[in-house]
């Protein structure tokens, strides 16, 4: 599962890293992106473009947009078979730019957040799917989900799933709208190599979606039980 992530890099770096040609709207660094919030995604086509969609996929055939609350992630192994994702897998794939994601590990003092990044702490892209749902007034709600896979050796001690971090050389294929064969796309959905990543504890401030500043990614250590107040 991937339930929180960060994208803190500058606009210029985002534009260069993902070869986006058009001018970007002013982007604010995001340290604690949560489901239900709007965040940048990158779409393919004649040239790559940046859009802002809501996290939590609402399939176009859904009767109620609240289904998006349950579809923040999509299991890579079953994308081609699940009605919620099959069409988007073939026709509406996107990149979700990020520079870290979070999981929570069990400690004697309770659950504590861990941040996972590349060793060089550079930008990467999650494999994403998107869709457009038409509201009763005729306007459209654009949403996305993050594809997950089995964990690598770094993530496995904490969680049994991890988001798909695409290799840069695989991003063009993932975005290619002419490709709709699951047999070509599914091999991209493997765990990212653990030896290219690192993990570290961050502040429990991350637990609240209201906390959105750089203080949530400061490296820290879990509190010991003796340090916790009972009141």
Q: DSSP readout, 63-118? A: S-GGGGGG-SEEEGGGTTT-TTTHHHHHH-EEEEEESEEEEEEEETTEEEEEEEEE
- Catalytic: 224? no
Question: Is the pTM of the predicted complex or chain greater than 0.85?
Answer: yes
Task: Say whether pLDDT at 23 is over 80.
Answer: no
Tell me how far apart the alpha carbons of residues 132 and 27 are, in angstroms, rounded to a whole number.
22
pLDDT value, residue 223: 62
Query: How many C-beta neighbours within 10 Å does residue 102 have?
Result: 22
**Active-site option among 7, 25, 87, 103:** 103
pLDDT value, residue 25: 76
- Catalytic: 103? yes
Residue 87: band (very low, low, confident or very high) from pLDDT cuts 50, 70, 90: very high
Tell me how far apart the alpha carbons of residues 27 and 121 are, in angstroms, rounded to a whole number.
19
The pLDDT mean for the chain works out to 93
For the chain, domains (ranges, CATH) are 5-227 (3.90.1680.10)
Residue 225: band (very low, low, confident or very high) from pLDDT cuts 50, 70, 90: low
pLDDT value, residue 230: 37
Task: Say whether pLDDT at 227 is over 50.
Answer: no
């Amino acid at each position: 599962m991937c339930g929180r992530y960060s994208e803190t890099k500058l606009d210029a770096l985002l534009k260069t890293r993902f070869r986006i040609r058009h001018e970007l709207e002013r982007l604010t660094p995001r340290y604690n992106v949560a489901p239900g919030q709007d965040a940048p995604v990158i779409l393919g086509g004649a040239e790559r473009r940046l859009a802002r969609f809501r996290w939590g996929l609402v399939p176009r055939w859904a009767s109620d947009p609240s289904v998006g609350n349950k579809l923040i992630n999509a299991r890579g192994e079953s994308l081609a078979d699940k009605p919620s994702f099959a069409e988007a897998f073939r026709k509406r794939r996107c990149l979700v730019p990020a520079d870290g994601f979070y999981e929570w590990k069990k400690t004697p003092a309770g659950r504590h957040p861990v941040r996972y990044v590349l060793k060089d702490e550079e930008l990467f892209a999650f494999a994403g799917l998107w869709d457009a749902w038409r509201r009763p007034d005729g306007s459209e709600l654009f949403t996305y989900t993050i594809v997950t896979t089995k964990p690598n050796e770094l993530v496995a001690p904490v969680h049994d799933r991890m988001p798909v971090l695409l290799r840069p050389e695989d991003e063009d294929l993932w975005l290619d709208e002419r490709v709709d064969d699951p047999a070509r796309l599914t091999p991209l959905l493997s765990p990212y190599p653990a030896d290219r990543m690192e993990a570290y504890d961050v502040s429990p401030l991350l637990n609240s979606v209201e906390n959105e500043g750089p203080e949530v990614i400061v490296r820290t250590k879990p509190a010991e039980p003796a340090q916790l107040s009972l009141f």
